[in-house]
A and B are shown apart, each in its own frame.
Chain A
Amino acid sequence: GIQVEQSPPDLILQEGANSTLRCNFSDSVNNLQWFHQNPWGQLINLFYIPSGTKQNGRLSATTVATERYSLLYISSSQTTDSGVYFCAGDTGGFKTIFGAGTRLFVKA
């Protein structure tokens, strides 16, 4: 089955710093999404981005579908950005596969 690799697995930032999270897929994927899981466990969708670039405030994402990867950019990080970031996608049929996540801690 499809493999989803996220990097880095763990990341510690000083408040105000920028970062890039990466998601690689072993095969072509549909319906690529990025999620943030806050420290209380709630998953929030950040982007639905099967291709191209989108921006939402301090966050932006780029997916290069032909090269099977996606990037999530966090600028001017804040302590509330802490949590786990997941990317996910499917190869058709909507069986969604999640990566293992990037655990982010932003220090005040």
Chain B
Amino acid sequence: GAGVSQSPSNKVTEKGKDVELRCDPISGHTALYWYRQSLGQGLEFLIYFQGNSAPDKSGLPSDRFSAERTGGSVSTLTIQRTQQEDSAVYLCASSLVVAGGPGETQYFGPGTRLLVL
């Protein structure tokens, strides 16, 4: 597609349930990022994927959060046993990173708005 897409756009779940959020990056982009944005706040880095390298998981807030990227393209962020404090907008971005070169501009998807009741 022309841009980064995310699904679902909105998700309401009950506390304790698991949720999966999907991100389709721009075709050909090798780098993929997940962020979380709480209401009225800035973006919090969660995880970064680059090609076939091991992901940088340093931003994941707890072991209830995990992410994978299959075939170097689509990524899924999974939150297990959701808590009310997980309510936020989850944003995905992708960039074209030249091996050995500097990072490039990040292009963001529209986000998934998660509400945990």
Question: A residues within 8 Å of B by Cβ?
Answer: 30-31, 33, 35, 41-45, 48, 50, 86, 88, 90, 93-101
Choose from A45, A98, A99, A101 the contact partner of B107 (Cβ within 8 Å): A45
Q: Which residues of A contact B93 (CB under 8 A)?
A: 43
Asked if A95 and B45 sit within 8 Å, CB to CB, the answer is yes
A9-B9 Cα distance, complex, nearest whole Å: 28
A-B interface pairs (CB < 8 A), number: 57
Residues of A within 8 A of B59 (CB): 95
Q: Are B42 and A98 in contact (CB under 8 A)?
A: yes
> Which one, A41, A48, A93, A98, contacts B111 given CB within 8 A?
A41
Closest chain-B Cβ to A86's Cβ sits at a distance in Å of 6
Cβ of B102 and Cβ of A94 under 8 Å apart? no
Say yes or no: B106 contacts A33, CB within 8 Å.
Answer: yes
Contact residues in A for B43 (Cβ distance below 8 Å): 86, 88, 98
Question: A59 to chain B: closest CB distance in Å?
Answer: 14
A41 to B109: give the CA distance in the assembly, Å: 10
Number of B interface residues, CB 8 Å? 26
B residues apposed to A, CB below 8 Å: 31, 33, 35, 41-45, 48, 50, 56, 58-59, 89, 91, 93, 97, 102-108, 110-111
Q: Which residue of B44, B48, B89, B111 is within 8 Å of A94 (Cβ)?
A: B48
- Given pairs A43-B91, A99-B42, 17 additional interface contacts (CB within 8 A): A30-B102, A35-B108, A41-B89, A41-B110, A43-B93, A43-B108, A48-B105, A93-B56, A94-B31, A94-B48, A95-B48, A95-B56, A96-B33, A97-B45, A98-B35, A98-B43, A101-B42
Question: What is the bound-complex CA distance between A105 and B110, given in angstroms?
Answer: 22
B111 / chain A contacts, CB cutoff of 8 Å: 41
Question: A86, B42: Cβ atoms under 8 Å?
Answer: yes
Contacts of B108 in A (CB 8 A): 35, 42-45
Assembled-state Cα–Cα distance A88/B43 (Å): 9
Q: Tell me, rounded to whole Å, the shortest Cβ–Cβ distance linking A15 to chain B.
A: 25
